[in-house]
Structure 1
Amino acid sequence: MKKPVLIALLLTLSLAIGCKNNKKENIEPEVTATEEQAVEPVQDEAIKVKIRLDPRSGSNVSGSAVFTEKDGQVTMVAVFEGLTEGTHAIHLHEKADCSADDGTSSGGHWNPTNEPHGKWGDAKGYHKGDIGNMEADAKGNATISFSTDQWCIGCGDANKDILHKAVIVHDAADDFKSQPTGNAGGRVSCGGIIQ
């Protein structure tokens, strides 16, 4: 008879301790105003779009570009191969359409603010697609990195949104003055900026 009473007593004691522990776990600590001010907001994740560029105008120029938007800044990093040694212009064009053999289906330079062609940041004006020039080495390889807060990826602002535009690599250098294209020559590589 002592055994069942002892077992019942132990079970009751176990349940009481278990409930007491559960109550402690469910109590949330009080946050003071100072602690609330110290909490930092979680940063938004970066938006990324990676594209491939294919040869145009009978060239062998191919490459890839990655566009990353974070904290209001878009960075483009692009690498190419198959270029002739020297300086080549790179621009954003109006449409992500690279169907024409010569790349002309991409339209003209992306210029939503109707500025004259020029060097990026020039007070006289420049297109939002006027990225500039890059140098190809003796093996035909080139890399370019470009960052701006004047672009966005998929934000819907017609003056900033680079989605559905094309990246065009030209055969020659941009002279930053000839209108409307900088006398950059033929389009040797094209890739649409599409998510």
Structure 2
Amino acid sequence: MKKWISLTMILACAFVFAACADGKNDSAPDEAEDGAVDEGKTTDPVELDLVEDEKLPSVKVNLMDGNGKPVGTAELTEEEDALRIMVEAENLPEGLHGFHFHEKGVCEAPDFESAGGHFNPTDASHGLDHEDGPHAGDLPNLEVGPDGTVKEEFFVENLTLLAGEENSLYHEGGTSLVIHAEADDGKTQPSGNSGDRIACGVVE
């Protein structure tokens, strides 16, 4: 009789140990689901947000005419290998107009002479067509339509919005964006015979 009791107790203990072992195995998948991350997968939402929130520098330049009235804007955006310039303006004379960045961030109407000469950190000659040019601030002519409006986009490789660079538009003293009365011929010094300054905006 004692032998049967002993055997019964041994079997009961065996079932208890087996149940404990099953419980541990059942919990393993839960732990993997809650805490483990498969190698090679990026699941951290904070890290993804940081990547998505990275933005290159940009600025909007407000252009005004010689009477101090707004005529449009130029949006400057730093791209990977160029500066993107998006110009949208109105109430300008029809035709081609010289378009340049100038060396001082001051736009005093009516003549905007306060903007100084062209932005030219490398001491180059003026003109996109000049063999020793261009100035960093030289841009293609704007073409204004019969209705007095213009909407154009340029990509310029020798300018940047990144501070500390030689060709940065945020250099000491600032810079400005100027529209001239006449077309720039692309080679005549110092400004391509582009005439008076009819609109100006500070890069700030």
TM above 0.5, yes or no, is yes
Q: Is the CA contact 1:85–1:139 (under 8 Å) kept in the aligned structure 2?
A: yes
Alignment pair present for 1:79 and 2:61: no
- 2:136 is aligned with 1:156: no
Residues 26-76 of structure 1: CA deviation (Å, up to 9, x unaligned) = 1222339xxxxxxxxx585232111110112x5867110001112132100
Question: Which consecutive unaligned segments of at least 5 residues does structure 2 have?
Answer: 1-23, 42-50
Matched residue, 2:44: none
Q: Which has the larger radius of gyration?
A: 2
Give the stretch that moved more between structures: 94-103 or 19-28: 19-28
Higher helix share: 2
Runs of 4+ in 1 over 3 A off after TM superposition: 16-20, 58-61
Structure-2 residue corresponding to 1:147: 155
Whether contact under 8 Å (2:86, 2:152) holds in the other structure is yes
CA distance in 2, matches of 1:134, 1:70: 21
Conserved 8 A contact 1:72-1:152: no
Question: Any gaps of 5 or more consecutive residues in structure 1?
Answer: 1-15, 33-41
Alignment of 1:53-92 (within 5 A): 53-56=63-66, 58=67, 62-92=71-101
* Conservation of the 8 A alpha-carbon contact between 1:117 and 1:130: yes
CA distance in 2, matches of 1:130, 1:145: 15
**2:119 touches 2:175 (CA, 8 Å); kept in 1?**
yes
The whole-number CA distance in structure 1 between the counterparts of 2:159 and 2:201 is: 17
TM-score w.r.t. length of structure 1: 0.76
CA pair 92-105 structure 1, distance change in 2 beyond 3 A:
same
User: What's the TM-score once normalised by structure 2's chain length?
Assistant: 0.73
**Aligned mates of 1:178, 1:76 — CA distance in 2:** 24
Distance 1:81 1:24, change over 3 A: closer
Q: Aligned equivalents of 1:116 and 1:92: distance in 2?
A: 14
* Amino acid corresponding to residue 150 of structure 1 in structure 2: N
What is the CA–CA distance in structure 1 between the aligned matches of 2:162 and 2:75, rounded to whole Å?
15
Indicate the RMSD between aligned Cα atoms, in angstroms: 2.6
CA contact (8 A) 1:169 1:189 kept: yes
SS state of the match for residue 191, structure 1? strand
The answer to whether the 8 A contact 2:57-2:162 is kept is no
Matched residue type, 1:93: H
